[in-house]
Structure 1
Amino acid sequence: MAPRLTAILGLVAVIAGPASGQEVPRSAISWIPLERDANAAEAPTGPTVQRSTITSEPLIGTRRDAVGLVPARALGLPPDIWGISSALRISRMLDELNENGVPATRGLLHRLLLVEAIPPRGSGRRAIVLNARIDALMRMGAVDEAEALGQRAGPPDDRLFERLFDIALLTGRADAACKMLAADATLSDDLSTRVFCAARSGQWDTAAMTLGLGEALGAIAPLRADHLRMFLDPDLFEDDTDLDLPEPMTALDFALREAAGQSRPRADLPPAFLYRDIHGRAPVRDRALAAERLSREGDFPYPILFAAYRARTPAASGSVWDRMAHVQTLDAVLGQGEATEDILPALRYAYDALAEVDLTMPLALEYGAALSRLIPPAEGDLTVAKVLMLAAQPAPARDWLPDEAPYPHHVALLIAEGSDAYDTLPPAPALPGDADRLATAALEAFALPMEGQSLDPQEARLEDLLRINRNGEAVLSALDLLGAGVEVDPGDLRAALRTLRGLGLEEDARRIAVQTILLRLP
């Protein structure tokens, strides 16, 4: 921190005094600038002293990188999941990870980010692995889990506080974060944060003075200053004033704009910006759209999506209103105990509508149990069979799968069942398409022996990581390959699935394989 800025901050802290409990209007708030400062992934501070085979490391940082919400073994992972990997290596892999992929892939990543485990080697006071895990959760829109993970780590340093403050802005729980800053001014040297917190606590004069000092020092950019000024005194601006959009938009920028009723950017917001749309009092349409987005890009609880679909009678047609209408129609025919032949048309309409926006998986989870109780017609039904397989209901799915179903469906069913009756599969097409090649690669991941069967350099590399006790690196590498989702290269899919199986994550591997195969199909 520059000496002049330090002196100014000291003066502001003395003048501001302790925060009062006075409330100001809450905003619909915001999100985080995901880019951290350039030194965020630097080697941990504090020397590591090695004497013989004993390593001494800073206790606080080590404990923070070990922090989790669920013990490793409860997730089917070993407590030493990070093995001999360095904290710097793991944090960089997390920062660069492709977090897309089919829902089962995102679910496994979500669990891995929450794991309580022995920290990687070299974990220091800066807790770079913990911070990288929080950032990854936020990119997935898992705001509550990110907050819980950060709070579990104990009193924050400046980098952890930056994340917790942004989360507090997003969730509307900024008062507690501001009180934390008032108690320890070293947590942040951002004058914009101090202006915001002073205003939140009712210290309007202090907020205005700090804003003026920040502008004079060049520590608060002009556009940010305008947003803060509008937050402090909206009457200074015309009612139709729409300030330029900050680039990039930080959590504080978004919070200030929401509080002042400014327009949102036309481009998609990062998933974590949508927290208040889900948990606040947003209109039903906005809540449903936010739930759809989080379902596509994160590991979002599907019941929340369907609660939004059922919240009211559709007010219009097109887009999300049509999806709401199809879901409500399917609910009605299922609730009335209609015959199977009456339910199937409603299911197909709902299936097509949700599949068009990549929401097949939530539909399968929501309706799989109800569909499993239906009596299949003699000819079966491919849509129902697919939904049941995605819902992890392979036994009834077999009764619904037509004999003439395409090859990938039969492969997916065999994998879902955990069967090794490979001789029951129909022959693969002589001229396989992309979906056929993907199904064959997935099948090979389960059909080939695990030992001595590396088919390409990618698989050999991942097997080497497992052999030298870099299991966490192997999982992250596999998840990165799977981040391509249904467009994954067949060889990458096989390598990733075999790696997960090698770690004992058999059920995860099967769910990922089934979803990748079936969601690749029309």
Structure 2
Amino acid sequence: MRNNLWATAFLGLCTGAALAGPDSPLSAIDWLSDSVIAPPSVQRPEPRVTPGAAPEDIAVTRLGAPNPDAVGLLSPAVSGLPRNLWGNTPTAELARLIGAEHARSLPALQDLLYTLLLAEIDPPADNAGDGELLVARLDKLLDMGALDQAQALVERAGPDTPTLFRRWFDISLLTGQEDRACAAMRTTPDIAPTFPARIFCLARGGAWDTAVLTLGTARALGFITEEEDTLLARFLDPDLFEGEPPLPAPTRPSPLVFRIREAIGEPLPTSLLPRAFARADLRPTAGWKTRIEASERLARTGALPASALMGVYTEREPAASGGIWDRVAAVQALDRAVMSGEAEAVTQALPTAWQQMEAAGLTQPLAQLYGPRLAPLPLSGPARELAIKAGLLSPDYETVAVRTDATLRFARGVAQGRPDPALAQTPMETAISEAFTTPDPGPANARRLKENRVGEAILNGIITLAEAAGGETSDVVLGLSTLRMAGLESTARRAALEILLTEARP
């Protein structure tokens, strides 16, 4: 049975390669493995009616099949978003906005974006049910390094097309579940693997002789590059290359290349690779320092929970000093102080821990875990203001704003949704006050909100805030106002507090 399946896959491979070519791109994520052959494009038939005889822009959907673009992990009751959020916005425009670069995005905006990517939302009016929006959502999750979320989403939809399977296969490679993906590839006749993926999976399944024979066939037919040939040859018979110098590092390694390089003892450092590769460094086999660095990188985009980051920080006592070890030691000292409940110990530990985490762009995880416990403590000196900052940056920001004293009065007003314009002392504070007292989303977003394109307006608001380079106050007014008028009051308050209280200016 297995041989028949592989024969089917081989025929599909030859046909697909002839039609699509070995370098046909499947995605803007150019580091994905060429693990499966793209299906040949289908030519649309000529219309049978004269122009104007039927209305234009008719959406075509597959009868009886679930729409992959409607798949999500968060129900409306959990996400708080209406099912008709996308409304009349064209699918292609939504895919473009989701894929936009959100440089230096605030944690509040990252959380909102995750909700949009994972929520169950009805497809827009023009949607054809071909998964275009799902692929855009998956690619953004991969870009942010959120492999666990992306894996859950694609498995909910079902990786039953080459485009979706390709992403699922690579996620599996980076999360250490490649055997599961290879088993699915072997038992899914509709998925035609490329030669490198087939050879890798044959070897992982113990069929080394068949893998060697397949490599020879691929070499003879010209279906693999010289670099792939060299790498796969070392993977299948490393003894033949004992004493040879290491292979040159590839400029854009795919997850498949990454895992094969690891298997032959020539691993690639992930620090210069796309963020998704950092997920591979969370495996227990990685060293502690490597796992700390990967955890920090993923925590900056919200791909790793704050509790998981702190769990890695506190695994053991640092055996060295300087650099990352000073940060680990400072966080551990704060953790011990907070656990003890002694105000004096916290007063001593908090400034150092905050300084270390702020320099690394990681104050948000610190505030999320410790903020609610720090704010009520009777601290003194710089630690007092830092504790209130941490509390206002935590999920309990409203409670902290009510219970704390007069410190940071303007920020406390923002947390309650009522900033006092008279307390604004900087142009940024004035802009934030404007967004809450006289909100103005601008004509473009006002029109989108009115025309049942709320999700489009929200995405534009996120981009406007994330791209407000150099503290552009007018963009801050537009972005915060858009979020508030779209019903996202809590997100707007959190974003405004992050602008005020952290070094992560938008």
* Shared fold per TM-score greater than 0.5: yes
**Aligned AA for 1:302?**
A
Partners of 1:288 and 1:187 in 2: CA distance: 37
Q: How many residues align?
A: 476
The alignment status of 1:489 with 2:475, answered yes or no, reads no
Partners of 2:174 and 2:200 in 1: CA distance: 14
The correspondence of residues 90-101 of structure 1 with structure 2, limited to 5 A, is 90-98=94-102, 100-101=104-105
Partners of 1:291 and 1:266 in 2: CA distance: 12
1:195 to 173, 196, 199: 199
Instruction: Tell me what 1:181 maps to.
Output: 185
**1:409-453 CA distances to partner (integer Å, 9 max, x unpaired)?**
443221112235x26x43x44xxxxxx3222222211111x5xx4
Contact 1:57-1:122 at 8 Å conserved across structures: no
**Aligned AA for 2:312?**
A
**1:77-127 CA distances to partner (integer Å, 9 max, x unpaired)?**
110111112222222222234264111111110111001111123433531
1:368 to 367, 371, 375: 371
The correspondence of residues 235-384 of structure 1 with structure 2, limited to 5 A, is 235-238=239-242, 241-265=245-269, 268-338=272-342, 340-377=343-380, 381-384=384-387
1:437 to 417, 424, 427: 427
Query: Where does the alignment leave 5 or more consecutive residues of structure 2 unmatched?
Result: 1-6, 15-28, 49-53
**Aligned AA for 1:349?**
T
Partners of 2:187 and 2:82 in 1: CA distance: 39
1:68 deviates by 0.4
**Aligned AA for 1:332?**
R
Instruction: Tell me what 2:20 maps to.
Output: none
Contact 2:9-2:193 at 8 Å conserved across structures: no
Partners of 2:296 and 2:47 in 1: CA distance: 46
Cα 1:400–1:251 change in 2 (3 A) is: same
The correspondence of residues 193-232 of structure 1 with structure 2, limited to 5 A, is 193-232=197-236
Cα 1:86–1:315 change in 2 (3 A) is: same
1:43 deviates by 12
2:114 to 96, 105, 110: 110
Partners of 1:384 and 1:505 in 2: CA distance: 26
Query: Which deviates more, 156-165 or 67-76?
Result: 67-76
The correspondence of residues 500-515 of structure 1 with structure 2, limited to 5 A, is 500-515=483-498
Contact 1:79-1:116 at 8 Å conserved across structures: yes
**Structure-1-length-normalised TM-score:** 0.82
Instruction: Tell me what 2:10 maps to.
Output: 9
Contact 1:12-1:206 at 8 Å conserved across structures: no
Partners of 2:86 and 2:114 in 1: CA distance: 16
Q: Sequence identity of aligned pairs in percent?
A: 35
Contact 1:380-1:402 at 8 Å conserved across structures: no
**1:172-222 CA distances to partner (integer Å, 9 max, x unpaired)?**
212232222223344235211111111111111221122222223332111
Query: Which deviates more, 264-273 or 229-238?
Result: 264-273
Query: Where does the alignment leave 5 or more consecutive residues of structure 1 unmatched?
Result: 1-5, 14-30, 404-408, 430-435
Query: Which deviates more, 91-100 or 227-236?
Result: 91-100
Cα 1:259–1:418 change in 2 (3 A) is: same
1:484 deviates by 3.3
Query: Which deviates more, 303-312 or 469-478?
Result: 469-478
Cα 1:61–1:224 change in 2 (3 A) is: farther
Instruction: Tell me what 1:33 maps to.
Output: 31
Partners of 1:333 and 1:8 in 2: CA distance: 60
Cα 1:219–1:247 change in 2 (3 A) is: farther
Contact 2:57-2:126 at 8 Å conserved across structures: no
Partners of 1:228 and 1:371 in 2: CA distance: 54
Partners of 1:473 and 1:114 in 2: CA distance: 16
Partners of 2:289 and 2:274 in 1: CA distance: 18
**Aligned AA for 2:432?**
A
Partners of 1:88 and 1:11 in 2: CA distance: 30
Cα 1:220–1:54 change in 2 (3 A) is: closer
Contact 1:395-1:417 at 8 Å conserved across structures: no
1:351 deviates by 0.7
Contact 1:165-1:177 at 8 Å conserved across structures: yes
Partners of 1:196 and 1:269 in 2: CA distance: 22
Partners of 2:263 and 2:56 in 1: CA distance: 58
Cα 1:227–1:53 change in 2 (3 A) is: closer
Contact 1:100-1:297 at 8 Å conserved across structures: no
Contact 1:445-1:494 at 8 Å conserved across structures: yes
1:461 to 429, 439, 444: 444
Contact 1:90-1:129 at 8 Å conserved across structures: yes
Contact 1:32-1:166 at 8 Å conserved across structures: no
Instruction: Tell me what 1:498 maps to.
Output: 481
Partners of 1:57 and 1:483 in 2: CA distance: 35
1:61 deviates by 7.1
1:59 deviates by 4.0
Instruction: Tell me what 1:85 maps to.
Output: 89
Cα 1:51–1:308 change in 2 (3 A) is: same
Partners of 1:87 and 1:444 in 2: CA distance: 33
Instruction: Tell me what 2:22 maps to.
Output: none
**Structure-2-length-normalised TM-score:** 0.85
